[in-house]
Structure 1
């Protein structure tokens, strides 16, 4: 089984953008120990932008996409070498892996990425994974790589996701501003967090915050993977988390793990539109696990193509997410029609607007 560990920008670089050498030394020592014990480890790291900014004396994080991409390009080599050299002294081979959200959103690319990463692990290498900021075309998308680390845990079927940050874990309030804030040591049900204000404050170089870490933990938990948020600055915290001992905040895994395809659909494939359905269609989707037929469709929003993912809604309520068999214009044309009439208008059309095998409930 594989352990995925993620280091945020605040762990990798200090407030001046300089590498936190002592922290990386400690984390790599722990990874080396896990590796020597037979554990497969994949590391997700932020920090390229921070190191790139430092290399040319930028005082403030760029706001433009091209500025972020350029800073990442400047810092990525330094970042990878920091891990490569430290793990090499511990007899561990590393591999640099750069991914974009597109790589995970297209099913074939997703499967290819999984195959390549599993081969690296079979060869006993430790993948050092980062978002490929330099080629991302829309935005720096993964929220300080919290989302990417959860995606990687799902992709590899990891036994544990550990998110290393600069605080002890999730608290009842921001401990930097509220002295009464208490550490939440365990979350068995995310409904327990209702009413707790989870902030999105980040470091000068990061883009995540506690909110994105909790979202990543929830994603992993839903997939049957436990997660831990703990302080990467605390010596030995990764090993403690890996042993299942108390440290930081542990999020329990959901007892039923979903199939790989359903997890990919739920978390990796982007939504391109919305399809509204009537209450009867919503009920059979929820209660009977049936496919969505055109007769149950009442509205279409967005400019999606056949094969895209759409949200399925009933009124203001989200029912689920599915891969649609029609383009938006086609579905708008046949919404509310029975199957016999649909075949008259579109002779080569599929029977279902969304097949049940390509649908997940919200």
Structure 2
């Protein structure tokens, strides 16, 4: 039994008029049913609630007013899920609506609760249809787009494959809508090599994503050992080819060095509350030796955070990584640059490590 997460962007799910693409949704549901029949667990991450809500209300385009986005989501979400539910039911597959916010993943307890819920739904043989809860979210707590959410879900449930469906055939050397000479990239094994490509932030009129967000999502999934494919969700047969393991779209290979689930959560889901600046020796030890960070290697502290909050660790302007602080910001300021024995004189019950190596991940 395998696990796959299939994500569809707004332009794939909804027409420019705001009407659901029932034919596309039907194709996806048929493919999902086929994978379910083979014993696979499948999760759908579907955008489009806002776009559909705007269409229902007779509004065109995508507004930037947060209250309008929230209201449009409230109008569109239930109606869009009903289409998914009906199309899956046509193949005798039960579905469950799951709405997540950034808060559901930023706190470790909530993160584990979300995992437990999805595990139980999958155990029941039900296909979750997930979207961000746009009705209550704000710019400050939003996933930004569902590519990131889909990658988070793939990591959360230990998926083997993440499929990001869009309205073009995959990742190109440049935007094919603007550059006729752009060529499709079939395989990505080195994310650093993508810096030479013209990967823009352009989006559809209905969505908030773009190809760059898909590359970031693929990099996150790759770090967890998950194969990611970006493919055309509108073209018939493309998804079937991806799920059959055939060459289709752009495939992002899984990384050889993989992070634990905890460190992936720390790196991608838990927000930072401040910054710890370290000297060259501490930076080298963190990068090359995998040691813990001690107060003696700290040169500055910024922000306001509590023990247990995530902090960014930097050497000057260069970000090294992210970790869980054992101290509050005020406590750290009292012991900056001090050796362990001196720290215990100032803070008798303090931990030796400002950031323990088990709770630190490199950028």
TM-score, scaled relative to structure 1: 0.98
Question: 1:53 touches 1:59 (CA, 8 Å); kept in 2?
Answer: yes
Partner of 2:92: 91
Q: Which runs of 4+ in 1 moved over 4 A?
A: 137-140
- Shift in CA distance, 361/139, structure 1 to aligned 2, threshold 3 Å: closer
Q: Measure, in 1, the Cα distance between the counterparts of 2:348 and 2:181.
A: 66
Partner of 2:169: 168
- 1:201 is matched with 202
Secondary structure of residue in 1 paired with 2:122: helix
The secondary structure found in structure 1 opposite 2:282 is helix
Are 2:62 and 1:65 aligned? no
Does 2:245 correspond to 1:275? Answer: no
Q: Secondary structure at the match of 2:231?
A: strand
**How does 1:67-216 map onto structure 2 within 5 Å?**
67-139=68-140, 141-216=142-217
270 and 25 in structure 1: CA distance in 2 versus 1, 3 angstrom threshold: same
1:193-225 Cα distance to aligned partner (Å, 9 max, x none): 121111111111100011101111111111111
> Distance in 2 between the 1:209 and 1:289 partners?
35
Aligned to 2:264: 263
On the 8 A contact 1:311/1:322 being kept in 2, the answer is yes
Q: Is the 8 A contact 1:30 1:236 kept in 2?
A: no
The CA deviation string for residues 291-347 of structure 1, in whole angstroms up to 9 with x for no partner, is 101111001111122111111111222111100011111111111011122122212
Give the deviation of 1:239 after TM superposition. 2.0
Contact 2:103/2:141 (CA < 8 Å) preserved in 1? no
SS state of the match for residue 203, structure 1?
A: coil
User: Match for residue 354 of structure 1?
Assistant: 355
Evaluate the alpha carbon distance shift between residue 157 and residue 13 of structure 1 in structure 2; reply closer, same or farther with a 3 A threshold: same
Q: Does 1:32 align with 2:22?
A: no
Residue matched to 2:218: 217
Give the CA RMSD over aligned residues. Answer: 1.2
Give, in whole Å, the separation in 2 of the partners of 1:289 and 1:193: 27
Aligned equivalents of 1:232, 1:162: Cα separation in 2:
10
> What SS does structure 2 have at the residue aligned with 1:354?
coil
How many angstroms apart in 1 are the aligned matches of 2:74 and 2:358?
40
Aligned to 2:289: 288
1: CA distance between counterparts of 2:130 and 2:10? 14
Asked if the contact 1:306/1:327 (under 8 Å) is kept, the reply is yes
Q: TM-score, normalised by structure 2?
A: 0.97
Q: Does 1:319 align with 2:320?
A: yes
Q: CA deviation at 1:64?
A: 2.1
Counterpart of 2:344 in structure 1 is 343
Segment of structure 1 superposing worse, 191-200 or 121-130: 191-200
- Provide closer, same or farther for how the CA distance between residues 277 and 140 of structure 1 changes in structure 2, counting only shifts above 3 A: closer
Which string of whole-angstrom CA distances, capped at 9 and with x for unpartnered residues, describes residues 232-280 of structure 1? Answer: 0111222211222100000000123321111111111111111100111
Q: CA deviation at 1:147?
A: 0.3
Give the 3-state SS of the residue equivalent to 2:196 in structure 1. Answer: coil
Separation in structure 2 between the aligned mates of residue 202 and residue 159 of structure 1, nearest angstrom: 27
Q: How far apart, in 1, do the equivalents of 2:326 and 2:137 lie?
A: 28
Residue in 2 that maps onto 1:41: 42
Matched with 2:330 is 329
- Checking the alignment, whether the CA contact within 8 Å between 1:9 and 1:144 is kept in structure 2 is no
State yes or no: 1:307 paired with 2:308: yes
CA 139–276 in structure 1, closer or farther in 2 if over 3 Å, else same: closer
State the alpha-carbon separation in 1 of the partners of residues 240 and 92 from structure 2: 18
- Distance, in Å, in 2 between the alignment partners of 1:191 and 1:243 is 28
Unmatched tracts of structure 1, length 5 or more: none
Counterpart-to-counterpart distance in 2, 1:142 and 1:153: 15
**SS of alignment partner, residue 348 of structure 1:** coil
C-alpha contact (below 8 Å) 2:227/2:252 kept by paired residues: yes
